[in-house]
Amino acid sequence: MLRVILPTDFSVNAYNAITYAVKLLEHSTAVFYIMHAYTPPIYRMDYTFGSPGQFGLPDDQRYQVEEELENTRKRIESEFPNAKHNFVTHAAFNALGDEIESMSIKENIDFVVMGTQGATGAKEILFGSNTVRTIDKLNVPVLAIPSGYRYTTPHNMLFPTDFEVDYNKSEIDFLLNLSKLWHSKLHILHVAHPDGLTAVQSDNKTVLEGKLLERNTAFYNLPDQEIIDAINNFQKENPMEMLVMVKNKHSFIEKLFTEPVIKHIGFHSEIPFLVLPYNQ
């Protein structure tokens, strides 16, 4: 049974991400935790002397949040009835990232599915400082769904890699299990360096190839270029339904989160983006 956190700010985009998760796991037994974490801009005096997690939401705010969560639960169950799915609502007076981390540990969560643009209209929320810190501290996969993205079965998943990742320390098994759900094909994309692979990269590639034995995969070795350009250009010629990367501080995904250029490109906002954790 899969356990999935579905953060929501009750926006259209958040609900869109929830529906994506439900459709993606249509044939899987799953518990979905519909979560809303909220920190009021002005705390009541009796809340200021303790940490947010020590107290509940102020009563009127908690009632409103719980009501909206319940309405969301009823709506999703009505629109997508499925005996294999169970929905649990959860309201918390806490920072979103802290609450997700806490619940991930407490409920043994498998992954998180969230929208990339919430009610605030922050187009770069996936790569904003708060969300980056959340992804950075989580030890579970995070699947981000672009604003307005209509569910498309992920028959093709793009997995760019520089082979700098020790795949025995990453959540590759999660990716493989996810790809099994819809018999997805994994497209392994590597941008070649003029000097070729190092010994470490060669060893990592061998490990990855071993994990992908008897899987529907294709390897691509592209000429030296910026990885962002390579991803965008590849997708123009080969439409994908999901982008997957490993969160390794020594790989190029770190640059995707920190370089200003990310604000000027669009690949992350076109298809769902799965970030796999890395165990150092």
Residue 166 is predicted with a pLDDT of 87
Domain annotation covers residue 31: yes
User: Is the pLDDT at 105 greater than 90, yes or no?
Assistant: yes
Domain annotation covers residue 192: yes
Least confident of 45-49, 104-108, 143-147, 276-280: 45-49
Last residue of a domain, one of 123, 145, 167: 145
Report, as an integer, the average pLDDT of 181-205. Answer: 91
Domain annotation covers residue 276: no
The DSSP line for 71-135 is HHHHHHHHHS--TTEEEEEEEESS-HHHHHHHHHHHTT--EEEEESS-TT--TTGGGSHHHHHHH
Residues 138 and 160 in one domain: no
Total-model pTM: 0.85
Last residue of a domain, one of 111, 145, 179: 145
Domain annotation covers residue 187: yes
Which whole-number Å values give the CA distances from 229 to 96, 126, 201, 238, in the listed order?
32, 20, 22, 14
Residues 27 and 140 in one domain: yes
Residues 137 and 173 in one domain: no
User: Is the pLDDT at 18 greater than 90, yes or no?
Assistant: yes
Domain annotation covers residue 200: yes
User: Is the pLDDT at 49 greater than 90, yes or no?
Assistant: no
User: Is the pLDDT at 53 greater than 60, yes or no?
Assistant: no
Which whole-number Å values give the CA distances from 212 to 167, 172, 244, 247, in the listed order?
11, 10, 15, 19
Q: Which residue has the tokens 């983006």?
A: 273
Report d(CA 4, CA 104) in Å as an integer: 9
pLDDT class of 259 with cuts at 50, 70, 90: low
Range of the domain at 10: 2-145
Q: What is the CATH number of the domain that holds 133?
A: 3.40.50.620
User: Is the pLDDT at 47 greater than 50, yes or no?
Assistant: no
Domain annotation covers residue 229: yes
- Domain count for the chain: 2
